[in-house]
Structure formats: structure tokens, C-alpha cells
């Protein structure tokens, strides 16, 4: 048994799960704000046209495609005294935090009433943030290197618990401080409230600190030799039909999911017209529901397997999302409907975020069994190319539709559009995808 195999066969402690998963807290605080709030902040707050925000966001997604692939591949190829993954975390984490701060505080540095300057500022710092997001590629590669097959749903659950605690805090922030900030800048664009400034600086610092904690406290992965070259690795990946199909499935589904993230808050703001108290109630319900369904979906994976569970998630989404059309009906009290819709979003899409950590670790191990080499970095990084191209396509589609039909109509019709995309993902997954491998049962015994 090799040193690497010995580590994966050793049962992981809760401390190891917690240390490994903790950076997802900082990542998801910032990523949730970036994905959910920037359309509202820049479009409704600073009056930048919504299609420009969506277009710039789509361009940012393309930059992730390059950075996640390159950082995944390079971290596979070069082993240092810090291991394969830690050097890139050390370098990119500070840019990650700083770019987030600049992205959320444009009026601290530029004249936000100049829409051309504002668009350029948003474009540059959104690209910087998305490029820095590539650090998650070497970080998440550790799932395959440090945790065995039976532990991966658990580590994914821990990562998603930190994800959704981060989502919860970011949602409360978005529904309270950001809404208050948006209301203030509509009357005075030069205002940066102290509580908003301190909160944004704190979120950026937390992002950097948690990544640095795992650099210094998480064990360096053992050295293992990779003899194959980049071109050989790429040829192997292209020949791996199931891996390519999984990437296509994730990419197709992400066209729709990329639309959900920035639109749900704008839907609540523009269509349901929640007040501050209703925002807080909605945020609490959303976060609690996600955490509950996260556990339920994990149990379903253990009971039904990964593929059947994913198919159920797609069907749930296809049924629930078209209820955005209720926004066409005048309502006196939108709170109950809004809460039910948010619970539906948590049910249908919350489970989706369990899968990337599990899928690509399993696919990398499946490749290792066939080739004798574990290339978790390139397997995770290459997936980002198609994923982010498709996400950019989804956001570009949103920008085009919004430009043609206007913001308010888009904020109602996005649900059926996403439902159709995820229904197509269901049939694609059912016919072409393998997520449960024969060797899994042997390893569990």
C-alpha cells in the first residue's frame, strides 16, 4: 500500500473535515453576494442597464474557465516543498478578497454616476474576482487526494454546510444592509455607510484568512509521480466518454442555474416587493430550508445512488421554477407565496451543489484505477472550461432576453426558461451519464 493509499484508507476525523471545509464559508459569502446581489446593486442601485451587468458577468464566467483549468493542471504538474496545491492558495487568495472589496464598493473609488466608468470598473474587478476564483480548483482537488470514496458525501456535506452558512449570512446581508445601501445610493450615490464598509472589508478578510488557515494547518498531500504530459492528459480526458458527458450535463444544467442566482433576488425585489422584515424572514427560511434539504439529499444519495438522486432534483426544479409566472398575477400579500417559492428553490436546487465535489473526485479515482495516476487537479480544472462557457451562455442569454423584453418581464419568465433547460438536463443525464461505478460497491464492503 502506498503512502497516498494509506492516507485515503485512514478514517478522517471531524477536525479534518472542518479544517478542509472551512474556506467554503468565505468563498460562499462573497460568491453569493457577487452572484445574487450585483445585478440589483449595479442595475437598480447605480442605474447601470441590466443587460450590461449580465454581459459583464458572462465575460467574467469565461475568465473562470481559463483560470480553473490552468490552476488545476499546473498544480498537478508541479510538486513543491509546500505540495501541489498550497502555493496557488497562497498567491491567489489575497487577490480573491481584494477584488471582492473593490467590486462591492465602486463609489468609494470612482464617480459611480459616470456609467461608462462604472461599467469598466465592474468589468475589470469582476474578471479579477472570477480569475481568483480559480484557486478553488487546486483546493477542491484535495477531495480525491485526502478522502476515500465513502467519505466524499460526508466531506461534500461539510463543505456545503459551510457553503450555506455563508449563503445565509450573505443572504441576510443582501436582504438588509445591501438593500439599505441600495436605497441610500439611489438618493445619494456618494454615500458609503460605515456598517456597509466594515462588513464588506470583513468578508474580504475572512475569505483570505480561511484559505491561509488550511495552508498552515492542513497536511500537505504526499508526493506521487505523474509521468504523463499535459497533451497526454488532455487526450485521455477527451477519450473518457463518461467524463465528457458529465461535463456536458453539468454545463447544460448550469445554463439554467446561472440564470437563477442573479435573478432570484431581483425577482423578490422587483416583483414581490418585499419590505425589510419580509426580506429577513425570507432569508431565514431559505437558509434553514437549504440546510435541511442538504441533509435529505445526502441521505438520498446513500439510499438511491447518485444518478437517481440527481434525476429527482432535476424533476423537482422543472416543476417548481415555472411558479415565477405567479408574478403576473396582482397580489396583496406576497410574503406567503415568496416563502413557498424560496422553499421550492432550496428543495430543487440545494441538492445540485452536493454533486460537483463528489462527481469529479469519483471520476478522477475511476481514471486512476485505469491509468495508475491520480490527476485530480486537471480533472477538476478541465471541468471548469465547459461549465463556465455554459454559465456565460446562460448569462448572455439573460442579457439578450432582458435587452429585448425589458427587466420586469424577464423577472417573471425566467422560471419556465430555466425549468425547460433542467428538464433537458434530466433526459440527457438519464440516457448518457454514469455516476455510480462498479468498484464503489467493492470499496464499501
Confirm if 379 and 364 have CB atoms less than 8 A apart: yes
Is the distance from CB of 99 to CB of 128 less than 8 angstroms?
yes
Instruction: Give the closest residue to 278 by CA, choosing from 387, 129, 176, 398.
Output: 176
329's torsion region: left (phi>0), alpha (psi -120 to 50) or beta?
Answer: beta
Backbone torsions φ then ψ of 80, nearest 5 degrees: -120, 180
Spans of the chain below 50 pLDDT: 1-4, 6-9
Q: How many CB atoms lie within 10 A of CB 164?
A: 27
Alpha helices in 225-354 (DSSP H): 230-239, 241-267, 276-304, 306-320, 335-350
Residue 80 bridge partners (DSSP):
83
Residue 289 to residues 118, 167, 297, 340, 403, Cα–Cα distance (Å): 36, 12, 12, 10, 33
> What is the domain-level CATH number for residue 216?
1.20.1250.20
CB 109 within 8 A of CB 200: no
Q: Which residues contact 300 (CB under 8 A, 6 or more apart)?
A: 308, 309, 312, 351
Between CA 20 and CA 29, with CA 23 as vertex, the angle to 5 degrees is 150
Q: Which residue has the cell 472551512?
A: 22
Q: How many helices (H) does the chain have, and how many strands (E)?
A: 20, 0
Q: Which of 200, 221, 213, 71 is nearest to 146 (CA)?
A: 221
Contact 374, 224 (CB under 8 A): yes
Query: How far is the C-alpha of 13 from the C-alpha of 232, rounded, in Å?
Result: 36
The pLDDT tens digits for 213-261 are: 888 877 776 666 655 566 666 677 777 888 888 888 988 888 888 788 6
- pTM of the full predicted structure? 0.66
Q: Residue 143 and residue 146: Cα distance in Å, rounded? A: 6
Pairwise CA distance, residues 65 & 388, whole Å: 5
Q: How far apart are CA 74 and CA 223, in angstroms?
A: 15
d(CA 379, CA 72): 8
259, 399 contact by CB (below 8 A): no
Calculate the CA dihedral of residues 230, 233, 234, 239 and round it to 10 degrees.
Answer: 160
> CA distances (Å), 74 to each of 2, 139, 230, 287, in order?
23, 13, 9, 36
Q: Which residues contact 289 (CB under 8 A, 6 or more apart)?
A: 342, 343, 346, 347, 350
With cell 471520476, the residue in question is 363
Taking the CA atoms of the chain, what radius of gyration do you get in angstroms? 21
Give the pLDDT confidence score for residue 314 in this predicted structure: 93
Count of the separate structural domains present in the chain:
1
Q: Is residue 83 helix, strand or coil? A: strand
- The answer to whether 47 touches 187, Cβ cutoff 8 Å, is no
> How many C-beta neighbours within 10 Å does residue 438 have?
8
Supply the pLDDT for residue 208: 93
83 phi and psi angles, rounded to 5 deg: 90, -165
Q: What length does the chain have?
A: 445
CA geometry: angle at 16 spanning 215 and 26, to 5°? 55
Neighbours of 180 (CB within 10 A): 14
Query: Which are the contacts of 383, defined by CB distance < 8 A and separation ≥ 6?
Result: 68, 246, 247, 250, 356, 360
Residue 365 domain boundaries: 3-220+228-444
User: How far is residue 325's CA from residue 414's CA, in Å, rounded to a whole number?
Assistant: 9
Amino acid at each position: 500500500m502506498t503512502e497516498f493509499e494509506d492516507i485515503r484508507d485512514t478514517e478522517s476525523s471531524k477536525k479534518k473535515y472542518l479544517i478542509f471545509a472551512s474556506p467554503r464559508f468565505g468563498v460562499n459569502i462573497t460568491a453569493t453576494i457577487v452572484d445574487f446581489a450585483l445585478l440589483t446593486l449595479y442595475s437598480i442601485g447605480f442605474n447601470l442597464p441590466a443587460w450590461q451587468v449580465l454581459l459583464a458577468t458572462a465575460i467574467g464566467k469565461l475568465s473562470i474557465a481559463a483560470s480553473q483549468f490552468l490552476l488545476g493542471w499546473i498544480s498537478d504538474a508541479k510538486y513543491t516543498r509546500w505540495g501541489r496545491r498550497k502555493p496557488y492558495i497562497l498567491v491567489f487568495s489575497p487577490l480573491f478578497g481584494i477584488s471582492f472589496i473593490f467590486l462591492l464598493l465602486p463609489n468609494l473609488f470612482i464617480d459611480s454616476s459616470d456609467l461608462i466608468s462604472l461599467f469598466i470598473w465592474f468589468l475589470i474587478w469582476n474578471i479579477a474576482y472570477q480569475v481568483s476564483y480559480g484557486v478553488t480548483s487546486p483546493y477542491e482537488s484535495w477531495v480525491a487526494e485526502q478522502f476515500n470514496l465513502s467519505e466524499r458525501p460526508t466531506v461534500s456535506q461539510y463543505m456545503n454546510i459551510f457553503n450555506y452558512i455563508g449563503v445565509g449570512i450573505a443572504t441576510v446581508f443582501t436582504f438588509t444592509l445591501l438593500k439599505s445601501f441600495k436605497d441610500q445610493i439611489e438618493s445619494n450615490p456618494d454615500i458609503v455607510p460605515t456598517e456597509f464598509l466594515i462588513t464588506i472589508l470583513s468578508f474580504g478578510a475572512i475569505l483570505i484568512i480561511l484559505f491561509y488557515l488550511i495552508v498552515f494547518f492542513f497536511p500537505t498531500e504526499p508526493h506521487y509521480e505523474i509521468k504523463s504530459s499535459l497533451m497526454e492528459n488532455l487526450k485521455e480526458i477527451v477519450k473518457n466518454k463518461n467524463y465528457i458527458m458529465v461535463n456536458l450535463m453539468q454545463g447544460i444544467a448550469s445554463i439554467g442555474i446561472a440564470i437563477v442566482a442573479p435573478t432570484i433576488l431581483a425577482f423578490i425585489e422587483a416583483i414581490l416587493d418585499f419590505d425589510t422584515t419580509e426580506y429577513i424572514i425570507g432569508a431565514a427560511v431559505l437558509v434553514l430550508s437549504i440546510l435541511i434539504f442538504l441533509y435529505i439529499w445526502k441521505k438520498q444519495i446513500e439510499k438511491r445512488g447518485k444518478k437517481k438522486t440527481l434525476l429527482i432534483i432535476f424533476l423537482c426544479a422543472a416543476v417548481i421554477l415555472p411558479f415565477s409566472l405567479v408574478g403576473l398575477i396582482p397580489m396583496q400579500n406576497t410574503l406567503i407565496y415568496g416563502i413557498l417559492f424560496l422553499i421550492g428553490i432550496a428543495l430543487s436546487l440545494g441538492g445540485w451543489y452536493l454533486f460537483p465535489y463528489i462527481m469529479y473526485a469519483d471520476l478522477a479515482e475511476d481514471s486512476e484505477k485505469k491509468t495508475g495516476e491520480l490527476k485530480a487537479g486537471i480533472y477538476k480544472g478541465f471541468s471548469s472550461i465547459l461549465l463556465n462557457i455554459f454559465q456565460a451562455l446562460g448569462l448572455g442569454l439573460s442579457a439578450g432576453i432582458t435587452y429585448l423584453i425589458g427587466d420586469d418581464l424577464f423577472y417573471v419568465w425566467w422560471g419556465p426558461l430555466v425549468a425547460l433547460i433542467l428538464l433537458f438536463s434530466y433526459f440527457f443525464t438519464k440516457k448518457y451519464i454514469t455516476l455510480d461505478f462498479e468498484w464503489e460497491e467493492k470499496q464499501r464492503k
